[in-house]
């Protein structure tokens, strides 16, 4: 390992260094510009985070430019800050990169940035400026984490071949909370994990591989992540002890995270007072329960002073919660918030709440309604350090869902959106499915909560309602596979999530281009092929799996592979209600579950109307005959046939495209992607055949193109 982490020998890398592999840059005018500026660096602070930034800078410059960075002495800094044209020996003062916190004593930072510049920089932001007067590119920040983000930003500019001779900007993250939720279990398994086992735990013990934990923190920080919950929201008995018996080990991980600007969170069991002992109830209004949690919070902050807080899944899928005691979610969340409040901690309360034991044969029963029905009536009742974590859609991370109607409905409650980087229903990191376009679509959705200018992104960043706490969370897709994500191209989702959480205005195309350049280098042919693979992949995956928003046609439990009647509760009927006449879920007010009414204004009217409902969500909102004609002019059944045939063909095309890069991409990276795309092409045909055969036999309607359907 090198000093900033990662594997030195690229031939042994296998994707471990991901977007921090710092590929060598091509010769040319930009490379010459970088060499001119980057040979010397001035850093005067000994803070661990600033020193981590220095180590990162030295490693990145050495790898990309092949030069060794010289750390400039303070005397030389004073000369440069005074704009001395020559040193006392007559040599040129030269160019230098300077970074540090405002007012830290670095004369270059103090000279380049005025008070007006400093006022533009938030707690985690940074300013960056090329100063011809001082022969300096300065990165200044209010806090050490901002310095680190600024150095990653400058390295990203260089790695993507951007000019640096005229930089002048203040950069702040849009979202204050940019969080990863791990679903790692203490036994080493990872719920919905598709990249190996946990790198935190194995056999009910902490592994203690702090080098890998540090390297993970580097990757997350470089993408803009500032919070990580390290254990599964489905907390098991032994994991309850993370807040007591195993606190020293948890604190060791927190120490590594802290250097990279990341606060550690823990998922907790609402029934902790009963499971860990001493209290015979978990009633949130019981004084003994409240005292128990207050004592636990004090113990945690004693050893982890910057502890972020608790993530809670309660009263859903057999998890304990306040319902047992006749209390509601506000009662439960506020009790925990009260315990954390003196220390600045927050409670993140998940809104994934539904009754998994209800009778799904009743067509008025609708899981999609559950989150809104539970939490809309509680709006305004939560303490100020409670955040509701709302899944992007009303169901469960399907390849296509409408946006959750809770966004726009809660006007007095802190809230964050929850995405799933782990591809539970989108190929499980065996299929490539670049999810940033999906997330962009969700964030841009107009909720109409304050008229047209009310997109989801303005709700989750806190600006629409003036929330104190806001942001974005996502389920991790990492494990102990050497490349972190199983499928190398799935790294683009992890990187892309962080970048989008930092700045939702970035395009999916721009994020993909960054990741490709930072991972594979600057070859334009390589960039073009990989970009097309990524940007086409969501549409391709959807086309051979889930027609028109119906979803769920996967094997139950493990959720991989086609099973048309495979919804978790299929013992009570299929999710999509297909019969020999038609398909789809009636969620209208007029004849169905009434779910469409949870939306605001014209959104509710559009989804309610069979004529106006968008094709891609038709079967989510309506039950229609197979002969129903879509806006595209095709019938529903013909659309199913066509998309599944075309999707399988396009999946094969992904493999063919990748194979054009043989000998243009490092062999250790090329081979692993080729293997995954080969498997995807074969599996897409299986999807095609099972789905088309099912609906051909259901409907009895021939394919207009006379293709073979068994």
CA 310 to CA 335: how far, in whole Å?
Answer: 12
Question: 426: number of CA atoms within 13 Å, CB side?
Answer: 26
Find, among 225, 234, 233, the residue nearest to 261 by Cα. Answer: 225
CA 666 to CA 519: how far, in whole Å?
Answer: 10
| Catalytically annotated residue among 45, 124, 184, 396 | 396
| Catalytically annotated residue among 168, 317, 444, 702 | 317
**Token pair for residue 280?**
């015979």
DSSP code string of 110-123: HHH--HHHHHT--S
Local structure of residue 128 (DSSP, 8 states)? E
Specify the 3-state DSSP secondary structure of 411.
coil
Q: Are 229 and 311 in contact (CB under 8 A)?
A: yes
CA 253 to CA 213: how far, in whole Å?
Answer: 7
Specify the 3-state DSSP secondary structure of 666.
coil
Specify the 3-state DSSP secondary structure of 195.
coil
Q: Which residue has the tokens 């204004």?
A: 601
299 is catalytic: no
Q: Calculate Rg over the CA atoms of the chain.
A: 27
| Catalytically annotated residue among 124, 315, 418, 424 | 424
Contacts of 135 (CB under 8 A, 6+ apart): 80, 93, 94, 95, 96
Burial class (CB in 10 A: 0-12, 13-18, 19+), 621: buried
Across 122-140, b (16+ Cβ under 10 Å) vs e yields bebbbbbbbbeebbbbbbb
CA 259 to CA 210: how far, in whole Å?
Answer: 13
What are the φ and ψ backbone dihedral angles of 674, each rounded to 5 degrees?
Answer: -60, -40
424 is catalytic: yes
**Token pair for residue 420?**
């799933």
Local structure of residue 21 (DSSP, 8 states)? S
Find, among 354, 361, 355, the residue nearest to 391 by Cα. Answer: 354
* 536 C-beta neighbours (distance < 10 Å), count: 18
Contacts of 104 (CB under 8 A, 6+ apart): 44, 45
- Helix%, strand%, coil% for the chain, nearest 5: 40, 10, 45
Tell me which H or E stretch contains 179: strand 177-181
616 is catalytic: no
Helices then strands (H, E): number in the chain? 21, 16
Known catalytic residues are 317, 396, 424
């Amino acid at each position: 390992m090198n000093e900033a982490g990662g594997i030195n020998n690229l031939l042994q890398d296998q994707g471990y260094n991901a977007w921090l592999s710092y590929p060598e840059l091509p010769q040319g005018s930009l490379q010459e510009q970088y060499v001119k500026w980057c040979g010397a660096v001035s850093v005067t602070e000994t803070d661990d985070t600033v020193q981590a930034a220095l180590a990162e800078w030295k490693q990145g410059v050495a790898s990309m430019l092949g030069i060794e960075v010289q750390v400039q002495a303070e005397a030389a800094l004073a000369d440069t800050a005074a704009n001395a044209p020559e040193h006392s020996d007559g040599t040129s003062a030269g160019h230098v990169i300077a970074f540090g916190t405002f007012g830290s004593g670095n004369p270059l930072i103090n000279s380049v940035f005025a008070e007006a510049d400093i006022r533009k920089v938030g707690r985690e932001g940074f300013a960056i400026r090329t100063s011809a007067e001082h022969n300096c590119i300065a990165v200044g920040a209010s806090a050490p984490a901002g310095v680190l983000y600024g150095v990653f930003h400058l390295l990203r500019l260089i790695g993507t071949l951007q000019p640096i001779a005229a930089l002048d900007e203040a950069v702040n993250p849009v979202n204050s909370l940019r969080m990863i939720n791990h679903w790692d279990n203490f036994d080493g398994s990872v719920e919905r994990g598709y990249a190996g086992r946990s790198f935190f735990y194995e056999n009910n013990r902490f592994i203690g591989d702090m080098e890998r934990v540090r390297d993970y923190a580097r990757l997350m920080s470089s993408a803009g992540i500032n919070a990580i919950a390290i254990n599964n929201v489905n907390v098991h008995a032994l994991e309850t002890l993370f807040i007591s018996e195993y606190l020293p080990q948890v604190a060791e991980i927190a120490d590594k995270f802290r250097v990279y600007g990341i606060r550690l969170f823990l998922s907790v069991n609402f029934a902790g007072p009963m499971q860990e002992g001493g209290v015979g109830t978990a009633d949130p209004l019981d004084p003994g329960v409240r005292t128990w949690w207050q004592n636990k919070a004090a113990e945690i902050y004693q050893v982890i002073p910057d502890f972020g807080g608790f993530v809670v899944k309660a009263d859903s899928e057999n998890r304990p919660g306040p319902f047992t005691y006749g209390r509601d979610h506000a009662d439960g969340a506020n009790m925990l918030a009260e315990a954390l409040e003196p220390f600045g901690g927050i409670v993140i309360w998940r809104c994934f709440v539904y009754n998994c034991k209800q009778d799904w044969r009743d067509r008025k029963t609708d899981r999609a309604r559950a989150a809104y029905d539970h939490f809309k009536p509680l709006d305004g009742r939560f303490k100020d350090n409670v955040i509701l974590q709302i899944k992007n859609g009303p169901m469960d991370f399907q390849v296509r869902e409408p946006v959750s109607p809770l966004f726009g409905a809660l006007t007095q409650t802190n809230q964050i959106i929850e995405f799933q980087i782990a591809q539970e229903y989108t190929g499980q990191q065996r299929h490539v499915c670049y999810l940033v376009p999906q997330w962009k679509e969700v964030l841009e959705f107009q909720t109409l909560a304050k008229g047209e200018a009310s997109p989801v992104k303005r709700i989750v960043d806190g600006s629409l309602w003036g929330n104190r706490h806001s942001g974005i969370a996502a389920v991790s897709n990492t494990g102990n596979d050497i490349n972190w994500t199983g499928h190398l191209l799935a790294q683009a989702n992890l990187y892309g999530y962080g970048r989008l959480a930092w700045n939702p205005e970035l395009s999916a195309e721009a994020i993909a281009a960054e990741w490709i350049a930072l991972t594979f280098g600057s070859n334009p042919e390589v960039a073009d092929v990989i970009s097309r693979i990524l940007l086409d992949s969501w549409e391709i995956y959807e086309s051979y799996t889930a027609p028109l928003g119906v979803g769920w046609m996967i094997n139950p439990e493990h959720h991989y592979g086609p099973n048309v009647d495979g919804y978790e509760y299929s013992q009570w009927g299929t999710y999509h209600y297909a019969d020999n006449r038609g398909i789809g879920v009636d969620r209208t007010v007029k004849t169905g579950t009434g779910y469409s009414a949870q939306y605001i204004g014209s959104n509710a009217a559009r989804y309610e109307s069979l004529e106006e409902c968008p094709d891609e969500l038709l079967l989510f909102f309506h039950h229609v005959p197979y002969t129903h004609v879509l806006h595209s002019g095709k019938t529903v059944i013909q659309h199913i046939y066509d998309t599944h045939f075309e999707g399988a063909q396009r999946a094969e095309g992904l493999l063919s495209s990748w194979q054009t890069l043989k000998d243009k991409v490092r062999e250790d990276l090329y081979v692993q992607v080729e293997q995954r795309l080969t498997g995807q092409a074969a599996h897409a045909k299986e999807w095609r055949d099972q789905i088309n055969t099912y609906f051909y036999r259901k409907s009895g309607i021939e394919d207009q193109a006379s293709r073979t359907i068994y």
